[in-house]
């Protein structure tokens, strides 16, 4: 028995948009369509084949409307909305946030970038106590 050729029905497309926008599941949507329209698709594969773009558009429209509300709330000062937006769209997480002290102490200001790099590499100056800084070579000469 040959399968019937399905043509897209604008009334079904409009109904799909309304139901998907209201959050109806695809299974319930398909059951509704089969019960309501004689020319409705009978399987999810046929539904997506002919009305997939309508389903996607309805989902996109709802996401856009909800997103606009959340963004506006965040911009209006709603901390929870701002946090939600930053987590979902900005990749922010409170666990990945580090508090970095950007104030410099007098000791930090006295070190040049070259001195700091040498210290990190273990080749330059080496601390001996809090206030006493001695070149690394002086330690070697003293130890021999």
Count helices and strands in the chain by DSSP H and E runs: 7, 2
Length, in residues, of the chain: 144
Closest CA to 106 of 126, 131, 129: 131
In degrees and rounded to multiples of 5, residue 76 shows phi and psi of -80, 0
Q: Which residue has the tokens 């997506």?
A: 48
- The domain ranges of the chain are 10-94, 108-143
pLDDT tens for the chain, 144 residues long, are 555 677 899 999 999 999 999 999 999 999 999 999 999 999 999 999 999 999 999 999 999 999 999 999 999 999 999 999 899 888 888 776 555 556 666 665 556 666 776 777 776 554 444 444 555 555 455 555
Q: Kindly give, in sequence order, each residue whose CB lies less than 8 Å from that of residue 23, ignoring residues fewer than 6 positions away.
A: 62
Under the phi-then-psi rule, with left for phi > 0, alpha for psi from -120 to 50, and beta for the rest, what region is 80? alpha
Q: What local confidence, expressed as pLDDT, does residue 128 receive?
A: 46
């Amino acid at each position: 028995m040959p399968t019937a050729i399905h043509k897209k029905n604008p009334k079904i497309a409009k109904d799909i948009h309304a139901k998907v926008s209201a959050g109806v599941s695809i299974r319930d949507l398909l059951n509704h369509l089969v019960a309501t329209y004689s020319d409705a698709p009978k399987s999810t594969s046929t539904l997506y084949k002919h009305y997939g773009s309508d389903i996607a558009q309805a989902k996109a429209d709802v996401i856009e409307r909800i997103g606009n509300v959340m963004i506006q709330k965040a911009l209006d000062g709603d901390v929870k909305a701002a946090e939600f937006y930053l987590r979902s769209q900005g990749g922010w997480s409170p666990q990945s946030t580090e508090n970095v002290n950007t104030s410099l102490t007098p000791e930090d200001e006295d070190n040049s970038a070259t001195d700091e790099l040498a210290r990190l590499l273990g080749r330059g100056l080496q601390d001996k106590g809090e206030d006493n800084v001695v070149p690394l070579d002086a330690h070697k000469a003293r130890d021999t």
